[in-house]
Amino acid sequence: MARGLALAIAAIALAGCGGGTGMFSTSEPAAKSTMAGRWMLESPRAPGCGVEMTASPDDRTGRIIPEGGCPGGFYRARRWALEGGALTIRDDNGDAVGQFSQAGDRFDGKSASGITLTLTRPAPPPTE
């Protein structure tokens, strides 16, 4: 009898482990965000510019390709690294071009020369 009770408890406990809609299942996991893709770099007193980021498989480092006219010397930007919520962008010599802190879905920071900068995803085009 004890063995039958143990098997029944085990069966109930395992019912939710199959990924179905059992009483122990949870909602779908949140989609993983990635740094890869197009971003907009903006400064309060200068025109913004686009930057394209590629990412390593762990999405913690990658390359950055700035468009022309980027503020704060970002035309020299070549690599990025994300450590926790801190984003550092460096040039080919390894010198920091800018440092950012994650603020929700954007990054706020400063260039090496002290210019205030914001890095955001561009708005998607309107759908018809």
* CATH number of domain containing 66: 2.40.128.10
Distance CA 111, CA 16 (A): 50
Q: Tell me whether residue 43 is in a domain.
A: yes
Q: Tell me whether residue 4 is in a domain.
A: no
Q: Tell me whether residue 15 is in a domain.
A: no
Range of the domain at 81: 37-120
Q: Tell me whether residue 6 is in a domain.
A: no
pLDDT for position 72: 80
Counting the structural domains of the chain, the total is 1
Residues 36-53 as b or e (16 or more Cβ within 10 Å = b):
eeebbbbbeeeebbebeb
Q: Tell me whether residue 8 is in a domain.
A: no
Q: Tell me whether residue 76 is in a domain.
A: yes
Digit-by-digit pLDDT tens for the chain (128 residues) are 554 444 444 444 444 444 444 444 344 433 346 899 999 999 998 888 999 999 999 999 999 999 988 888 889 999 999 998 899 999 999 999 999 999 999 999 999 999 999 999 988 778 87
pLDDT for position 33: 60
